[in-house]
Amino acid sequence: MNVGVVGNPNYPDLGAFLATLQQKASSVGIKLYTEERIQTLWPAPASDGAPPPLSDAPPGDLDCLITLGGDGTLLRGARLLNGADTPILGLNLGRVGFLTTAAPDTLDWVLDSIARRAYTTEPRLALQSAITGKGAKSGRVEPLVLNDVVVHKGGVARVLRLKVSVDGDEVAQYSADGIIVSTPTGSTAYSMSAGGPIVVPTVDAIVVTAICPHTLAVRPLVLPATAVVTIQPIPPWTDEVLVSFDGQVGQPMQPGERLEVRRAARPIHLIRLGPEGFFKRLRKKLHWGDLSDRTRK
């Protein structure tokens, strides 16, 4: 079995954890492949040395991807797969890790479950974006995202004027700090912080949420997953406009360009271990409905 490993090198003792992972993976017949940014953190070649890079994995023959970190590491791992059907298992080394499904102290269980394929997968809607229009080079296709695509202002914090359309039909011109287009998975991330709704991951939908809109007449929109959302900056608010993908990589938009966001051709698959469901994760990790600070009088 071939398993890829993506990790956040900023976590302390990641090297020690990789050594343990390598030893235990070998004992259950798992061959590991590593992303290059953590290749030097694996054990020195006293035995097998560092696993080969992900680029050496047989095309289409990666059975699983393990991400070591928090939600950001999982999102980066999803982009590295670039639309492949490889399922992702997030092992949380951070604080919240809402998308992850395991912790370091469950490593034996994780590897045994992977080796036996004793897990379930959740297909998650992903978004594909393209920047088109004046100056765009034949439509720049941007990275696949699991959480959200955000149009916002670069440099000095200023309100933008943005025209938003759905399937070619103009919704409105927004005066706001930006616009978030999110998946159901991303509805518990930036969109939620900006006042957007929480959408159960099994719902086929796209959410459009304005960031700090300069009006009381704007509310988040929940659209069918088939919708194509177009966002175009309106002159003279077209300078230093940026598009961010999952909050990790970005691209400037030039005057005259527009962003088109649509459902990706294939979903991203997240591995789940055990019976924990979405609402239990809400209660456990986001303290949904937590009334523990209230005492009965």
Taking the C-alpha atoms of residue 180 and residue 273, their distance in angstroms, rounded to an integer, is: 30
Question: What gap in Å lies between CA 68 and CA 38, rounded to an integer?
Answer: 11
Identify which of 90, 42, 89 has the alpha carbon closest to the alpha carbon of residue 70. Answer: 90
Instruction: Count other C-beta atoms under 10 Å from residue 233's C-beta.
Output: 23
Phi and psi, residue 234, nearest 5°: -105, 130
Those residues with Cβ within 8 angstroms of residue 169's Cβ, 6 or more apart along the chain or in another chain: none
For residue 35, the SS3 value is coil
Q: What are phi and psi of 53, to 5 degrees?
A: -70, 160
Candidates 13, 56, 63, 71; catalytic one = 71
Q: Does 71 participate in catalysis according to the annotation?
A: yes
Distance CA 218, CA 133 (A): 27
The token duo for 77 is 């791992």
Phi and psi dihedrals of 73, rounded to 5? -65, -40
* Alpha-carbon span 283 to 153, nearest angstrom: 34
Indicate which residues carry an active-site annotation.
71
